[in-house]
Amino acid sequence: MARTTAAGQANFSIPDRIPITLIVNGTERNLNVVPWTSLLDALREHLDLTGTKKGCDHGQCGACTVLVDGRRINSCLTLAVMKDGAKVTTIEGLAADGTLHPLQQAFIDHDAFQCGYCTPGQICSAAGLLAEGRAKTPDEIRELMSGNICRCAAYPNIVAAIQQAMGAS
Amino acid sequence: MINFQYTRASDVADAVRQIAADPTSKFIAGGTNLLDLMKDDIEQPSRLIDISQLPLKSIDGTDDGGLRIGALVPNADLAWHPLIEQRYPLLSRAILAGASQQLRNMASTGGNLLQRTRCFYFYDTATPCNKREPGTACSAMKGLNRGNAILGTSDACIATHPSDMCVALAALDAKVHIAGPAGERSMALTDFHRLPGDMPQRDTNLAPNEIVIAVELPAQGFANNYTYLKIRDRHSYAFALVSVAVGLELDGNGIRRARLALGGVAHKPWRDKSAEAVLEGQAAGPAVFARAADLLLRDAKGFGHNTFKIDLARRAIMRALTQAARGTPQSISSKKIA
């Protein structure tokens, strides 16, 4: 089976851009995207919401975690066209009226990062974890946060920060 | 990732019509495996047919006391569904042992069945792979094969099926419901996945123009005596080196019924009814557990880096049977193996 190359796609007709609506951090945003635009690229490149980070782009690192209809997902493994009409919350949308989200404050209080690149994903993932209400113990927090990698290894402080936010909520 | 067209399916019949009309198209539901493979040009569909909005998202009771799980029920919702947690905790724990919560929130039940292997060489387009490009070679056979299969391999392929959920479904005697141009059919989960043989490019017995619509569980969920024991290189968010799903129905210390399936060791969840037969009617204990392990692994064959899996699997089977018989299933969050 020959592998398709760019040249082999010569007869491919570029599909029309598909109009979609995303409710991003409470605001309705209308976009026209090609089918292969990931939700991550739609947020970063079309909407200039660069708080959500592209790490591995393969669902392995968790840096791209956002909340879609209240659930945490990897935005890099999601096509924007498949989320037409969805409510998306990114790190830019967590603070309300100038007050940091309890998780954002807890990450500062516990110094739960070094370079900060994974932090938006960590915080959005933790927001999803709080909403799920399943993690009670540090072991359970670690297990349910295992989809977010921190190469600076701030893990103990991340767990402490989440515990603080859990106590506050 | 190559460019592709995108359409939505309006119902199951429309999905089947669309896939039958264009053999180079693929269904997309959660997308967690397919988009990953497309980004590496391993999958190159000309068209994605979005089935994510089809009404296949419910979990319903069946006439014979079991449950029918819609193919689009997300893995996370299935694992945490009250009926699954109460009646099929083996399935719940197996699902929670796999992937991350973000992925489980996206991944669908049907898509989990259709995951492709995580063999390094399948993913590495610079190397030959009979599964990716039939007729080239198996690079894993003499390569870095720590994660590869020890059972049911062929000269063409030593890939494993990566799912945890399917290992539990195999042990639980689940059935897969399928729709196609000729109507609906069903098959045992254990018949759904296939061994590589000389056609390793085919992972399952699903025809190209068919769609998985549901997975059905029988009434018996082995909720009292079960375990899902997963051994891996990293404590969380890693594929199994070896996993063991066990369900026992006990009468005192006597084993009335036994279900046993292995993950991480073959091209499909590995179940051998002779190993279950040797347990049934016997008192639970190490001697009979060892006989079951011997039977399950009697044809096991290593390829160098993965040869340790034979001994690891034997010990994992013994430990899992002990956990299930004692009613002390392996915890997902505490990594200590009890």
Residue B224 CA to chain centroid, in angstroms? 22
Token digits of residue A29: 């945003």
Selected residues 107-146 of chain B with any CB under 8 Å from a CB in chain A: 125, 133-134
pTM across the whole model: 0.97
Helices assigned H by DSSP within chain A: 39-41, 102-109, 119-132, 138-144, 155-168
Q: Is A122 on the interface with B (CB under 8 A)?
A: no
Please give the interface size between A and B, counted as residue pairs whose CB atoms are below 8 Å apart.
105
Percent of chain B exceeding pLDDT 90 equals 97
Check A74 against B80: CB less than 8 A apart.
Answer: no
Please give the residue of chain A at the shortest CA–CA distance from B34.
A77
Euclidean distance between CA atoms B45 and A113, whole angstroms: 40
Beta bridge partners of A73: A66
Euclidean distance between CA atoms B286 and B174, whole angstroms: 28
Q: Is B10 on the interface with A (CB under 8 A)?
A: no
pLDDT digit string (tens) for B172-230?
Answer: 999 999 999 999 999 999 999 999 999 999 999 999 999 999 999 999 999 999 999 99
Q: Which pLDDT tens digits describe chain A residue by residue (169 residues)? A: 344 554 455 566 778 899 999 999 999 999 999 999 999 999 999 999 999 999 999 999 999 999 999 999 999 999 999 999 999 999 999 999 999 999 999 999 999 999 999 999 999 999 999 999 999 999 999 999 999 999 999 999 999 999 999 997 6
Option in B2, B50, B100 nearest A9 (CB)? B2
Please give the residue of chain A at the shortest CA–CA distance from B52.
A82
Selected residues 125-164 of chain A with any CB under 8 Å from a CB in chain B: 125, 128-129, 132, 134, 137, 139-140, 142-144, 146-148
ipTM: 0.96
List, in order, residues 6 or more apart from A74 with CB less than 8 Å away.
A59, A62, A64, A65, A147, B32, B102, B103, B106
Option in B5, B52, B333 nearest A139 (CB)? B333
Check A78 against B31: CB less than 8 A apart.
Answer: yes
